Amino acid sequence: MVKPSADSSAGDSESGGVPLARFRGVRGFTRPYQLMFRQYPTPEGSVEHVLLDRWLYLCAATKDVLYPREVPSRPMYKRGSRPEMERFVQGACTTERGLGVVVERICTELARLAGRNNTPWPDLLFGGTEEEILLRGTNLCGDLSRVACVAFQVAGLPSRLVFLADPTRPYYGHGIIEVSRGGNWGAVDCLSNVVYRKADASPASVWELQQDPDLVVRHQAGEFTTYVQASQFRDAAIVDYPVEERASFSYGVGRANSYYAAILEMADKGWPGGSRWLHGEDSEE
């Protein structure tokens, strides 16, 4: 895609005299979430772990880097290179051409994919290519957001990955995306089937959702509102995931490791005794 002057995957350049290295990767998040993000159960070196170190934490110091005046135009997608993803996009969008409708249709179709998945946690698979994830189905926000990110680029819309965390609650991390249309980035949560918009129906970016919590609250009319909470947007990091760089990534598949197994088992039981950090993440270093 056409790169802005300073993109979210840039090196350690400075913004207003602030070294970006201090906001790279998981550094901006609280210690418990730093530890949690690094335990993602896919093989070391796979796409999730590579992108993890490229995240740029969203804050006042990085806002202008992540939201420059020059926005991407169209992704550098080569038509015919991802036929399975093209079929998914065409099936989701049918003959509709309006950008707003395309975003809604792809989001809704991915939400349906997640809703159809009832895989017990011991059998869950994490990671793989976007085509593999589509084939097996998933209700994991990390996998679903990566599929969404590629799907929107195949549809001709720039998109990027977003990682959220509610620092007041254990294990409340969540993966969504941002999609650029009409010169504006807008947050899209395909697991919750929510396309975030402002009152005038224009896209609402993650930054704007952070600054105006009421923008998040007004989207709580849907069925799945677990992550549609203002507190979920308190911490955020953003990273580019360009569709044309597919060959540079490894797409290993994993199952729940001991870290995630303990969390998923407790969630499956409804968190008896209340939610809490299970692995000492919140203990003093």
Q: What is the mean pLDDT of residues 43-68?
A: 97
Give the model's confidence band at 226: pLDDT under 50 very low, under 70 low, under 90 confident, else very high.
confident
Encode burial over 137-157: b for 16+ CB neighbours within 10 A, e otherwise: bbbbbbbbbbbbbbbbbbbeb
Residue 16 pLDDT: 56
- Residues 174 and 167: beta-carbon distance below 8 Å: no
For residue 159, the cross-strand partners are 179
Summary count for the chain: helices (H), strands (E): 10, 10
Residue 6 pLDDT: 38
How is residue 187 written in tokens?
């947050």
Q: What is the mean pLDDT of residues 146-161?
A: 96
Taking only the tens place, the pLDDT of each residue in 95-131 is 556 777 899 999 999 999 999 999 999 999 999 999 9
Residues of the chain with pLDDT > 70, as a percent, come to 90
- Residues 139 and 269: beta-carbon distance below 8 Å: no
Q: Distances from the Cα of 219 to the Cαs of 125, 158, 213, in angstroms?
A: 30, 23, 11
Q: Which has more pLDDT, 177 or 284?
A: 177
How is residue 258 written in tokens?
């001991």
Residue 15 pLDDT: 54
Taking only the tens place, the pLDDT of each residue in 227-283 is 999 999 999 999 999 999 999 999 999 999 999 999 999 999 999 999 999 999 999
- Residues 203 and 197: beta-carbon distance below 8 Å: yes
